[in-house]
A = this chain, B = another copy of it.
């Protein structure tokens, strides 16, 4: 075969989440035909990221330093700790401008069917982190999916058993939506949690 390097590239691209064999082929052809600079840049970015990115010792997110810039920011309120599933969720909260405390990034969520338990997502590290004597409230901001709810529930129980206050993001009607088009479970929660 004289296309071994191409086949290996397609195989390697297939390991990306959400990429099947057809997408991987399209990506490989595109890079080789139209964007060899992009291919070289991606190779370098992958190598550097794997080499330089590690977990922040305090919040567990990805960082190139021992402790990430958010954890080191003296303007953040160290009495609040917000628990999120991924750095992308943290970024969404930051963009909302509604939170000035610190974060703990779980890097996943509990999935009984997927064999992911509390220890795999860093629950013990979270309990240690929240017991530093400064944190007064842990805000559970995992997703409102089945797995996110399970994760939130398990963490809330563990935190409260240690006497740490645990709260959950409010569930309710999203901004800009008409009640007619909101699903019934959301309306029921919004009614129950009315203020």
Contact = CB atoms under 8 A, between A and B. Distances in A.
A45 B9 CA distance: 5
A159 to B, nearest CB: 23
Interface in A59-82: 62-65, 68-69
Nearest to A24: B16
A9 B46 contact: yes
Given A25-B88, A63-B2, A64-B2, A30 B17 contact: yes
Chain multiplicity (copies): 2
Given A46-B39, A69-B1, A53 B32 contact: yes
Interface string A23-37: 101111111110110
Contacts of A38: 12, 15-16
Contacts of A107: 29, 33
A194 interface: no
Given A12-B45, A15-B38, 5 more contacts: A3-B62, A3-B69, A5-B45, A5-B48, A29-B88
29 contacts: A2-B64, A2-B65, A3-B63, A3-B64, A3-B68, A3-B69, A3-B87, A5-B45, A6-B49, A8-B45, A9-B45, A12-B38, A12-B45, A13-B45, A15-B42, A16-B27, A16-B31, A17-B27, A25-B87, A25-B88, A29-B62, A29-B88, A32-B49, A33-B107, A39-B46, A39-B49, A40-B47, A40-B50, A43-B43
